[in-house]
Amino acid sequence: MKMRSIAPMRIAKTGYVIMSLFFCLLGMGFILHADIGTRMLGTILGIALIVFGIVKVIGYFSKDLFRLAFQYDLEFGCILTLLGIAVLVHPLAAVNLIVIAMGLLIMADAFFKARIARDSKEFGISDWWFILVASVVTGVMGLLLIFRPGSSAQLMVILLGMALIAEGILNLAVAVCTVKIVKNQYPDRVDPEYEVMYRKGER
């Protein structure tokens, strides 16, 4: 029987790791340069969201071994891509709208990653607790973005930076802990002819 290609899984996992690290670096950049212009903020964030959205969709169709990390990524990938396009097309939109939208998205992602942590525990993955802790911290950061304690634009950019760092760490934890690439994976659906030959003892 022909083995399943592991190329999509490698692309998805590598993309996840790279984009997670990029989100961490982007978050630190926002914290250090909180006075960044709205146009630059929208352009950088829009491109990052589009790329990560595409990576998430690829991950959904990659069919990794445990099927944990990418199980909700078709919907999230599409939403991220659409949000990224909207931010990129309208980079001068109010910072408030960008921050609130990111807060909602980050909080929702944290909620679903908490479910992945629960599923990981049932699978016997020992690092499930790290995913859960990262989900809680990320969810709190998402809430802060939605109900920000101040109206200063610079403060909102700093909170956005902190939330992006938390989101990056969360996605990195999920990719490293739950995505296992096994070279000799068979397709989900067994070829009927192969099944008949196997029952007859043919090879």
Please give the residue that has the higher pLDDT: either 69 or 147: 147
d(CA 189, CA 198): 15
d(CA 34, CA 41): 10
- Tell which residue, 57, 54, 42, 20, has the closest CA to residue 138: 20
Tell whether the model's pLDDT for residue 198 goes beyond 50.
no
pLDDT at 33: 86
The full length of the chain comes to 203
45-48 long-range contacts, Cβ below 8 Å, gap at least 24? 45/84, 45/87, 45/98, 45/102, 46/84, 46/85, 46/86, 46/87, 46/88, 46/89, 46/91, 47/84, 47/88, 48/19, 48/22, 48/23, 48/84
d(CA 88, CA 184): 41
Please give the residue that has the higher pLDDT: either 32 or 70: 32
Three-state SS at 24: helix
Mean pLDDT of 111-117: 89
Q: Note whether 178 and 120 are within 8 A (CB).
A: yes
Tell whether the model's pLDDT for residue 150 goes beyond 70.
no
For residue range 35-80, what is the model confidence (pLDDT) as tens digits?
877 788 888 888 988 998 898 888 788 766 555 667 777 888 898 8
pLDDT at 162: 94
Alpha helix (H) residue ranges in the chain: 7-32, 38-60, 73-89, 95-123, 128-146, 153-178, 192-199
Tell whether the model's pLDDT for residue 186 goes beyond 60.
no
Q: Which residue has the tokens 């991950």?
A: 59
Banded model confidence at residue 161, pLDDT cuts 50, 70, 90: very high
Q: How many CB atoms lie within 10 A of CB 155?
A: 13
d(CA 10, CA 58): 10
91 backbone dihedrals φ, ψ, rounded to 5°? -65, -15
Banded model confidence at residue 138, pLDDT cuts 50, 70, 90: very high
pLDDT at 181: 58
